[in-house]
Structure 1
């Protein structure tokens, strides 16, 4: 399994990376903004993309929307402290997770996505 985590906060990236490593034996790549996440997603095949909403250069909604427009059908999850679940889903996210996120949230997310 290969996962891409996109978040501008290094502490969130490292926490998500650590928690996902506990749950799955996965190769995890990270990016600090949506534009770099888009480049990585175009360059590598991922089984899952987890992206924050508020980021510089390109936000998570635009990242998901662009990938969906390009035909990417892989699971994408938007995370945010803002209550924007409807907005996330309309942009093409498979799931929305409200920050702060813990290991139980990630375990439920993986189960719901069948990963």
Structure 2
């Protein structure tokens, strides 16, 4: 499957913007594009259309893009459909819920051809199981704990790990649950979100470093957090790496390769 084979539903209230974005998608070779101007019509069409990805503006006449993606995630038939946001909004309070819902990409408005290409490549990786490989690492015996309050994010990371032939994977929905698991079981790596209820990523790192029986446990923080002071505190606390959310498959693969290779040497 190639980018040109992806099917797209585009939700944009502005006719001018719909035409412009559709033209840019067509420039990537994508021909299967359905256009909508509001969320209600989109939700009605989705079960029949079954697109690979829904690309939406944040502000729609009848709901927000956040409302739209959450409606999709609450529907068993639609919850696995990839979602992408295109918006000029920069406020974390507006964007973070969409990141937490497992968006494959959030593009600025306006965006470049390269921005769109990378976002559609991320969509392709999400739709298809990527062909990934970790070199010089015994993946059969690697034990990884995924910590994220978004079930979609956990599933996406699990798919990537399984594509690397890592099968010993445990999931936790928040930091408190993860801390309990770490106190009871041994892991080779923790992949954690930052913004979580009950115990956030920073608090989980502190627990691992100061209170657990595995103070040297490698931690990959996958986060949408943009506050530089908070990120600096996380980095200072001893995480192995920080990865932006949404993330590309290649970025996760590269970070895991380095972290796990360091672990095995």
From 1, 6, 13, the equivalent of 2:154 is 13
Query: Please, what TM-score do these two structures have when normalized by structure 2?
Result: 0.42
- Cα shift readout 1:24-71 (whole Å, capped 9, x = no counterpart): 423100000100000011111101001100101000110011110135
| Aligned residue in 2 for 1:101 | 247
Give me the whole-angstrom Cα distance separating, in 2, the residues matched to 1:54 and 1:88: 12
Does the Cα contact within 8 Å between 1:60 and 1:78 map onto a contact in 2?
A: yes
SS at match of 1:108: helix
Displacement of 1:92: 2.1
Residue equivalent to 2:186: 45
Q: Kindly name which structure, 1 or 2, has the bigger radius of gyration based on alpha carbons.
A: 2
Assess, with a 3 A threshold, how the Cα gap between structure 1 residues 62 and 25 changes in structure 2: closer, same or farther: same
Q: Distance in 2 between matches of 1:109 and 1:26?
A: 18
**Alignment length (residue pairs):** 115
Look up the match of 1:112. 258
Mapped to 1, the partners of 2:251 and 2:198 lie a distance apart of 28
Please tell me whether the aligned partners of residues 174 and 196 of structure 2 are also in contact (alpha carbons under 8 angstroms): yes
Query: 1:100 & 1:87 partners in 2: Cα distance?
Result: 21
From 23, 27, 40, give the equivalent of 2:168: 27
Counterpart of 1:90 in structure 2 is 236
Partner residue in 2 for 1:72: 215
Cα deviation for residue 106 of structure 1 reads 1.4
> Tell me, what secondary structure is at the counterpart of 1:46?
coil
Q: Which moved more, 1:80-89 or 1:49-58?
A: 80-89
- What CA distance in whole angstroms lies between the structure 2 residues aligned with 1:101 and 1:24? 20
Secondary structure in structure 2 of the residue aligned to 1:100: coil
Alpha-carbon contact 2:195-2:225 (below 8 Å) kept: no
Q: RCO higher in 1 or 2 (8 Å CA, sep ≥ 6)?
A: 1
| 1:4–1:28 contact (8 Å) kept in structure 2 | yes
